[in-house]
Chain A
Amino acid sequence: MPFVCSLPPLRQTILSGLLLLFAAGIFVPCAPAADKLTIYSGRSERLIKPVLDAFTANTGIQIELLSSGTTELVNRLKAEGDRTSADLLITNDAGSLELARTAGLLRPLNMREIERAIPSQFRAPDNAWVGLSGRFWIVAYNSTMVKADQVKSLLDLADPKWKDKIAIPNSGSEYLQAGVSVILTTYGEEKTKQFLQGLKTNADTQVYQKSSQIVEAVAKGQVALGIVNHYYVYRHLAAQPEAPIAVLMPDQQEGGMGAIMNVAGVGIVKSTKHLDSAKLLVEFLVAKAGQKLFADLDKEYPLHPDVKADPALVERKSFRAALVPLTKLAELREPTLALIEQVGLR
């Protein structure tokens, strides 16, 4: 670099400093410390950081968090392969975890702590991923605009009478994809397609990137109904108890498919160099205390049978869940996406 050397001393110092910074910027984050875990998290930072902070406080293990979209992170893990700096993957959707498992990104676990704490329907057969909390895809309604008995099923939202009155998540959201997968298995392609078309027409421009925005829109009366995961409603109610918003558990009618369930879960990345610390974190999350913390923070249903859900939630035993196994969500992803694209959901 001839002109660097030809600069006056002061400027030379500055420029070399910048070059050093340039190099530092590239190489520093690639060297993870021994007692540090890197987590790729598909759930928003707000919903996960307090639990991880509690873990750090307990064990002294530092955590580096990358929050982003779930699919994006799975894509990233695939691309990074063995070179990834990630030790664990936390996502909002069992389908994505199962896809990561079938792609060979996650490490099977043989841990008695997991088997004792989490019922087998909420984890992969080889424990490569483990569910941590349950969430239901529900209808949030504005109680000043709609009566609870006006909607029985998710499929009712495609009815033309709700034109411009509903808000839905965008088609990139994994829980929408998982929800559509369940509907597709239950009702078949034709009916699902009709449902999606109705949903698209009724929502029109009310398609949101974030569930919290949908809940906000319902609470303010901008729309009457919205499809979200149940906990967003309870989180909103916890902050604003007077808000005219409530949860409607759909598809509970005689012969109905039951509410669509999904889990948030964790898997240890296959190439991790911090297996012991990563296992510690999983242990922490499935243990009673961790389960309580993880579930309550976000108003979700704990999966550990001995841990009680937040009393504000609808009693878990009072409603039915749809009967599609979580592991099936992965194989359903492709046909679901094809359908979503055919309909042209945003």
Chain B
Amino acid sequence: MSTIRQQLASPLQLLALATAGIILLPLGYVTARALSADRAVWSRLWATRIPELLFNTVSLAASVAVITLVLGVSTAWLVTRVEFPGRRLWEGALVLPLAMPTYVLAYVYSYLLGFAGPVEHLWQLVAGPQARIFSPHSYGGATLVMALDTFPFVYLLSRSALLSMNVSFEEVARASGVSRLSTLWRVTLPLMRPSIAAGVALVILYVVSDFGAVSLLRYQTLTYAVFQQMTGRSDNTAASILSLLLVGLALIFLITERWFRQRSRFYQTTGRYRTPQRHRYGWLGTLAVTGYLGLIVGAAFALPASLLIQWSLSPEAQATLDSRFFGFVWNSGVLATSAATGGVLIGLPLAYLASRRPTMLNLSCLQAAYAGYVLPGPVAALAVLVLFTRLAPIFYGSVLILIVAYVIHFLPAGLQSLEPALQHISPNLEEVARTLGLGMRDTWRRVTLPLVRNGFVVAWVLIFLQTMKELPATLLLRPVGFDTLAIRVWMEASEEYFQLAAPSALLIVLLSLPALALLVSKDWRAA
């Protein structure tokens, strides 16, 4: 009994509870609003929009999953099991697409593949002047863009699975006379299955909650529809209903991902680690592999990036580089800094309590904080909006509301690295410090903090990066005069002013690169 009272009295505990509450409340409000909606609204939505939206969302997720699976696993296998010139370079280059926000890739491709665009012109030289290629503003276009942007998730997970796998399994198979291809199929791939599944689930989660690409490619998914409902209708009942469906859908994939991630632990073998033997390719093989990897990295990063540079250097784009532009840079910086700092400060007590006092209560608070994963941008915006107009209307239209939305939305990404950072330090170290006569504060300063610093930095950078790229919540909640780089890209690109959008887009990509390097070396999961 006394322990319970002690726990409740702890200010840290209260803080954690309040945080969990603030994060769960918006979700609760949206749910309540959707469930209390008139049955007529539900049935009208079922009769008109929902089947189409569900079908579009699920089929996009499915096709992107299949493509990323093929791209991710094959590239991972090539860089870990084959030796060819430039292998290490490709190993890094395959991560680069993660620096491209989906809306940037989408707008580059709507130019490249667009009606009377460069690709169509090339194709017309081959197939005659009337020939048409498929429109990027379609299922196919959205699939292409999302797949190119997200395959590194599968690549990274497969790669680490291939690197940490005990190679003796494969060697045994080979020694028993099984062919190379058969070994891959019957031994390697089954061993990688949990990692691949986790990667694909992550991709799907990303696709389902994406707003940038689908809005620019005009492909109707649930996330896009929620945004359209919020901006085009005066009451947000329908938006709440669609949000609830979206949350449900995202939850399914989140649980799938977690489940596979848990299972993947069983597959880690404890045998002595050896670098897997890499098969050396001849010049023909090298050429083929280089061509394949070059095509992927070129389409997903090099080509878009060089177009952005070219556009940024155009006189139209140069003319926009005035003090206003730097205002947008400043806004992006202020928002991302605030959200990252706020996220780390809020995530810390949650992660600390969950690892030091893993009671049911503390663990549930931590789990609650992961709710942001199933709140895609527009839904997070809607939720925060509803919450604030009910409880604290005074903050409506201020930066605070936007930052709260960011923190709710991106806290999970931060916790991903805060949590293990704290868990990896044995409490013994702190206890030893205390027995040796250090005070609470000194223990924190000289023992705990230096040990968790890396986790902190990574969490901060992650939230900073995500916030800088964030689009839908910013669009819906930004206060007067708070346009960000992402907003500028989207606004210019949605009117097809490709050149004008380029400098902002390029800057986002450039700022993402060092952060990406840091994350890949530490915790890439939420990049």
Contact = CB atoms under 8 A, between A and B. Distances in A.
A344 interface: yes
A25 interface: yes
Contacts of B385: 79
Interface string B21-61: 00000000000000000000000100111001000000000
B445 A343 contact: no
B115 A220 contact: yes
A71 B135 CA distance: 30
Contact of B480 (A64, A72, A207, A212): A64
Interface residues of A, number: 62
Contact of B220 (A64, A81, A346): A346
A186 interface: no
Given A79-B389, A81-B393, A171-B232, A26 B399 contact: yes
Contacts, number: 143
B396 A209 contact: no
Contacts of B342: 22
A7 interface: yes
Interface string B216-229: 00101000000011
Interface stretch (A83-91, A131-139, A272-280, A294-302): A83-91
Contacts of B135: 205
Contacts of A38: 480
Interface string A17-45: 01101101111011000000010100011
A22 B232 contact: no
A123 B394 CA distance: 32
Interface in B402-460: 403, 440-442, 444-445, 449
B494 interface: yes
Contact of B232 (A29, A44, A71, A222): A71
A188 to B, nearest CB: 21
Contact of A341 (B48, B341, B441): B48
A244 interface: no
B480 A29 contact: yes
B464 to A, nearest CB: 11
Interface stretch (B152-160, B182-190, B330-338): B330-338
Contacts of B115: 217, 220-222
A64 B483 CA distance: 11
B5 interface: no
**Majority secondary structure, B binding face:** helix
Interface centre among B116, B338, B394 (most CB of A within 10 A): B338
A269 to B, nearest CB: 12
B231 A212 contact: no
Contacts of A333: 234
B268 interface: no
Interface in A116-152: none
Interface string A273-296: 000000000000000000000000
Interface centre among A2, A26, A79 (most CB of B within 10 A): A26
A55 interface: no
B337 A85 contact: no
Contact of A64 (B338, B397, B445, B481): B481
Contacts of B138: 205
Contact of B48 (A86, A172, A344): A344
Contacts of A21: 334, 337-338
B453 to A, nearest CB: 10
Nearest to A40: B480
B319 to A, nearest CB: 13
Contacts of A170: 228, 232
B480 A85 contact: yes
B475 A68 contact: yes
Contact of B337 (A22, A71, A79): A22
A201 to B, nearest CB: 14
Contacts of B232: 69, 71-72, 170-173
A80 interface: yes
A84 B234 CA distance: 18
Contact of A72 (B48, B231, B389, B393): B231
A2 B397 contact: no
Given A6-B441, A80-B396, A217-B115, A210 B494 contact: yes
B233 interface: yes
A194 interface: no
17 contacts: A2-B444, A3-B445, A5-B441, A6-B441, A22-B342, A25-B334, A64-B480, A71-B233, A72-B231, A75-B234, A79-B393, A172-B229, A212-B496, A221-B116, A333-B234, A341-B48, A346-B228
Interface of A: 2-3, 5-7, 18-19, 21-22, 24-27, 29-30, 38, 40, 44-46, 64-69, 71-72, 74-76, 79-81, 83-86, 99, 170-173, 205, 207-210, 212-213, 216-217, 220-222, 333, 337, 341-344, 346
